[in-house]
Amino acid sequence: MIRYIIKKKNILKKIMELSDNWNSYGAKSFNNKIYYNTLKILNAIPKKFLNFYIVPFDGGIQFEWHYRNKYLELEISDKNNIEYLKIDNKNNEENEININNKKEIIKIIKWMEK
């Protein structure tokens, strides 16, 4: 578990080092609030769900899970809300949640094992 956390934090640090225009489409570099918001979510993820991708996007960091027939994205920015997208064979759900609502964030992540 610790190995996964260290690996994810190292990936995050490399993303934070990206300079302006890192995607060649004018994306801005990442600020400290994005970094701290991302760490807050990373530290809240249950051990069982640490196998995910960390992907930069213009405006923040995205966590992606591909689990069985389900897909989950959490988009973390410098705002106080996280946007999420849940997709399975029957439904798509897109919404946002307060970044400090750890209980609800964990509930969204655990949706994958239902």
pLDDT at 1: 66
Average pLDDT over every residue of 56-72: 95
User: Can you tell me the mean pLDDT for 50-66?
Assistant: 96
Number of domains in the chain: 1
Pairing of strands 60-67, 53-57: antiparallel
Residue given tokens 């389900």 in the structure block: 70
Rounded to the nearest 5 degrees, what angle is found at the Cα of 114, between the Cα atoms of 90 and 71?
Answer: 55
Task: Please provide the DSSP assignment of 64-85 as one string.
Answer: EEEETTEEEEEEE-SSSEEEEE
- CA–CA separation, 105 vs 114, rounded Å? 15
For the chain, what is the mean pLDDT?
Answer: 94
Average pLDDT over residues 35-62: 94
- Domain range holding 44? 2-113
Check pLDDT > 70 for residue 48: yes
pLDDT > 80? residue 102:
yes
Contact 81, 97 (CB under 8 A): yes
Q: What are 77-90's pLDDT values in tens digits? A: 999 999 999 999 99
CB atoms under 10 Å from CB of 76, counted, come to 27
